[in-house]
Structure 1
Amino acid sequence: QAFSGAHRDRQVGVAKQLFSAMGIARDDKDMRQDWVLRGFRQFDAPVCIIVTYDRVLDGSDDTPFDCGAVATALVNAAWSRGLGAVINSQGIMQSPVVREHAGIADDQIIMKSIALGWPDETFPANAVVSERKSVEEATVFVGFDN
Structure 2
Amino acid sequence: MKYDEVVLGRRSIRGYKPDPVPRAVIREVIEMAMRAPSSLNTQPWHFYVVTGEPLDRIRAGNTERNLAGVPHSREFRVSEQYQGEHRERQIEIAKQLFAAMSIERHDKAARQDWVLRGFRQFDAPVSIVITYDRELLDNDIAPFDCGAVTNALVNAAWSRGLGCVINSQGIMQSPVVREHAGIADDEVIMICVAMGYPDETFPANDVVSRRKSIEDAAVWVGFDS
TM-score, structure 2 normalization: 0.60
Which structure 1 residue ranges, 4+ long, deviate > 6 Å from structure 2? none
What corresponds to 1:24 in structure 2?
103
TM-superposed deviation, 1:66: 0.5
The higher relative CO (CA closer than 8 Å, separation ≥ 6) is in 2
Aligned to 1:86, the other structure's residue is in SS state: strand
**Structure 1, residues 55-91: CA drift from partner, whole Å, max 9, x if none?**
2112323122211111112112211111111112211
Q: 1:144 to 1:58 in 2, by over 3 A?
A: farther
* Aligned: 1:13 with 2:89: no
TM-superposed deviation, 1:135: 3.5
TM-superposed deviation, 1:105: 2.0
What corresponds to 1:41 in structure 2?
120
CA distance in 2, matches of 1:78, 1:62: 24
CA distance in 2, matches of 1:141, 1:100: 48
CA distance in 2, matches of 1:56, 1:105: 13
CA distance in 1, matches of 2:202, 2:89: 22
Aligned to 1:125, the other structure's residue is in SS state: helix
Task: Name the % identity.
Answer: 72
What corresponds to 1:105 in structure 2?
184
CA distance in 1, matches of 2:122, 2:151: 19
Amino acid at match of 2:137: D
The 5 Å alignment of 1:44-83 reads 44-83=123-162
* Aligned: 1:138 with 2:223: no
Which of 171, 182, 206 does residue 127 from structure 1 map onto? 206
TM-superposed deviation, 1:145: 5.4
Aligned residues: 146
Instruction: Give the number of the structure whose alpha-carbon radius of gyration is greater.
Output: 2
Aligned to 1:111, the other structure's residue is in SS state: strand
Amino acid at match of 1:119: P
What corresponds to 2:82 in structure 1?
3
CA distance in 2, matches of 1:145, 1:85: 40
Q: Which shifted more, 131-140 or 56-65? A: 131-140
TM-superposed deviation, 1:2: 2.1
Aligned to 1:63, the other structure's residue is in SS state: helix
